[in-house]
Structure 1
C-alpha cells in the first residue's frame, strides 16, 4: 500500500480507501438493492485492512444506516487501525427535520452515527450535499462544535461547487473554526469536470481530494460493451449516476483494455492507477459488492503506468475548458512572461 497525508494535515491515510456504500440488505436508492450481509462485510473489511487500507468511508444515509452499523462491527477490535469517514446531509428519517445541514440535524446525526459505528469519535465528518435552506454560518458552527466536543477529529465536504466550498471555508477561517481538510468528489476518466474549478481551489487551500466512483459507476471496468450495453444485474442499468457519455466511454475502455493487456492487468486497475498519478488526489475510494471486485481494485496500487500511457489517457479524456477558464492564460503579458522566462531559465 502507498500512503500520504490528507491535505495539509498530519493524518496519514492510504492512497486507496474502502467505500462501504454497498453494505446492507435492502434499498440503497430507488432501483438499487444492496445484498451484503455482515459476514461478507467482515471479510471485505479484514481483507482491506490486511492489504494496508486504513481509510474507510460510509454515510448515515446508506441503506438506512446499515452501512455504518456493519462497518463498525466489521472493524471491531481493529478500530484503532482505521480512519473512519462518514457523512451528513441526506434524509435519514420521516420527520421533516431529518435532513439537511442545520445545527440541529448535524449534531443529532453525528451522535446517531457514533452509536451505529460503535465508536467514541469520527475521524472525518463530511457534509454530503449542499443545503439550500441553512445559512452557511450555522453549518460551520455545528461542525466546529463537534470538533471542540471531541466527537469529530476533522471535517470535510462532498459534492460542492468551488464557490460554495470557498464561502464555507472563508467563514471557518474568519471564526477560527475547524476548517475543511478533505473534499470527497466524483472524478474519473469519464468525468474530469473537477479540474475546472475544484482542483485549483483545493491546491490553493491545501485540501485533499477523496475520489468517489473512480470507475464511473463501474463503466470503466469494461463490463459494459457495445455488444452488451446493459449487462444483467449491472448498477448503471437502473441507477444512472454518475452521468456519462456512453460512446466516449466505449472509446476509453478500448484504450484501457489495450494498456491493461500490456501489463497483465484489468481495465479497472488501469483507470485507478491513472488517478493515483494526480498530485491533488489524496485517496481513491474503491467499493465492491463481490469479493473478486475488491481483489481486482486492490491490484491497482501495484500498477505503474508509463509516461506515454498516462499521456494517451490524458489526451483522450482531457475536458474542454469552460469560460472563463479559456481566458485565464491571457492574464500573462507576453513581454513580461518572456522577460521572466529568460531570467528564470
Structure 2
C-alpha cells in the first residue's frame, strides 16, 4: 500500500486512484453562494489557501468539490490554493460533481469544459452525480459519464446520495461499458448511521465501491463544543443552528464517551469520531470533513495518526447504535 507523509493510502473503489483516508470537503469555499447560503459563512481567500496548505501538510492528497458549490467558486478556489501550494496535477486528486437539478444527462458532456476551466489544469479524477434527481435516467447519466472517461476528460465515475438500489443500477450500467462505479458519497457519522441498515454500506462492500462519508462530525456536534457551551450555537448560520440545537441532549452520552477515549490517546473527541468511521468497516469508508479555519484542517488530519483498540471501537459502536 502506498503512503504519503507516512499515512497509508486507500484504493478508490476498484480504480488505480490512491487517496488518503481523509479528504478535504470544499463546500465551505463557495463564498456564501449557491447551496452554501445558510450553512457556511464565507471563508476568505487567505484562510482558504491556509486550509488547503494545512491539509496538504497533514497528508491529505484529495479534495472534494462540486459545480453546485458556489456555481464553480469552490472549484476555482481549490485550483488557486493548490497552485499557490506548488502542487502539480500529478500530486493531488480532485473530485467534483455534476449538478443534475433541472437537467438531462446531455448536460454532463456539455458542462465538462466549464468544470475543467474552473479547475484550471487539474484533472477531474472523480466525477460524481451530485444527487439522484433530474430529467433523465440512471442509464443515460452513467453512459454520459462513461463517454467522458473514454474521451480522457475524467478518470473515474462516482455518485452521491444514491440509495442501495440506485447504486446497484449505476454499477450495472457501467459494467456494460467495461467500467466500474468508484464511489457513493453519502452523509455518514456516529449520529447518522442509516447506511448500515438501509443496504447502502452492504451493497458498497459487495460491489467494491468506496463510501465517501460527508458531514463526519455532524456539523460540529460530535466535537462536544456545543454540549459544553450551547451559546456557541448563536454564532452559527440559521439552518445549522436549528439542526444542532435539537440533538444536543440525545448525543450527550456518546460525546462524553468520545471525550474520555480521546483523553487516553491525547487527541480530541472529533478525531476519535472520525477515526472510528475510517476503521470500523475496514477500508470501505473514507471521509471528507470540511474546514472553515486552518486549525480545523489541522485537527482533521490528526484523526489519521492513532489507533483505537477493539474495545474502544466496540464501545463507540454500542453507544451510537441508536442512530442507525
For normalisation by structure 1, the TM-score amounts to: 0.83
Question: Where does structure 2 lack aligned partners over 5 or more consecutive residues?
Answer: 1-6
Task: Indicate the SS of the match to 1:47.
Answer: helix
Shift of 1:208: 1.0
Say whether the 8 Å CA contact 1:144–1:177 is kept in structure 2: no
**1:184: which partner in 2?**
185
Structure number with larger C-alpha Rg: 1
Q: Deviations over 1:75-111 (max 9, x none)?
A: 11413211100011255xxxxxxx44x2222122322
Superposed, 1:257-296 pairs within 5 Å as 257-277=259-279, 278-296=281-299
**1:337: which partner in 2?**
none
**1:20: which partner in 2?**
26
**1:304: which partner in 2?**
307
Which structure is richer in relative contact order (CA contacts within 8 A, separation 6 or more)?
2
Q: Equivalent of 1:69, from 44, 69, 76?
A: 76
CA separation of 1:236 and 1:294: change in aligned 2, threshold 3 A: farther
For normalisation by structure 2, the TM-score amounts to: 0.89
Task: Indicate the SS of the match to 1:86.
Answer: strand
**1:121: which partner in 2?**
123
| Distance in 2 of aligned mates of 1:264 and 1:247 | 25
Say whether the 8 Å CA contact 2:79–2:122 is kept in structure 1: no
Task: Indicate the SS of the match to 2:148.
Answer: helix
RMSD: 2.3
Q: Deviations over 1:151-185 (max 9, x none)?
A: 10000111011011111211222x32533111111
| Distance in 2 of aligned mates of 1:36 and 1:299 | 22
CA separation of 1:183 and 1:249: change in aligned 2, threshold 3 A: same
| Distance in 2 of aligned mates of 1:242 and 1:211 | 19
Superposed, 1:1-345 pairs within 5 Å as 1-27=7-33, 28-76=35-83, 77-78=86-87, 79-89=89-99, 91=101, 99-100=102-103, 102-119=104-121, 121-173=123-175, 175-196=176-197, 197-225=199-227, 228=230, 231-235=233-237, 238=240, 245-277=247-279, 278-319=281-322
Say whether the 8 Å CA contact 2:66–2:97 is kept in structure 1: yes
Shift of 1:254: 1.3
